[in-house]
Structure 1
């Protein structure tokens, strides 16, 4: 029986920059790390509550992130549940994070906003309205 999704993995261009972004701006903490010298792969597991985000630090990355393109097969985005989309938008925008979609109400019950991590991977903020 499948219990739940254990973690999600993102390959990043600059591991130190991504760790800084996810920990200092989004509140994740470093859970643990793994190093594979033969492949020069460093993996850092970040935790936010019960959620684990695995960052693959690979020295030579090819290509660009396409998570914002609907017509490309693959994982689309990470969604973070927040108390207030507007407050998080203001906090992140003041820190210099550009938003692709500003805070928007969808179907009167959900408020969302989209921004990108340092490698262009989409991140959604979501707030369920009363």
Structure 2
């Protein structure tokens, strides 16, 4: 079911400063930026490996759940069909954090769950090809 590593999410203090840093310092490019009403989000890719991204996340208000999780927030995996993947992993014993599929700022379908050590994991059905 898993196709590849999708992205790694990093909690940042200043999203604009972090975008500039990753782009200027390491040659990343901004693919999408926006907010979901709770946090600012930006997706960066590198031209030499555009299929794996960094997601930068800045809480709009301090003290939210994400900022207390850690600097590296979650590990995301690409799937082709999220509904089928959810069914597959439920049969393997995965308990998802919600019953509903979320939409990212770029339109991707997402859902979270925890690994055996409490690590936050995510399945993503991207909108891009």
TM-score band w.r.t. shorter chain:
0.3 to 0.5
Normalised to the residue count of structure 1, the TM-score between the two structures is 0.43
Question: Is the helix fraction higher in 1 or 2?
Answer: 2
Q: Which has the larger radius of gyration?
A: 1
Normalised to the residue count of structure 2, the TM-score between the two structures is 0.43
Select the structure with the greater relative contact order (CA < 8 A; seq sep ≥ 6): 2
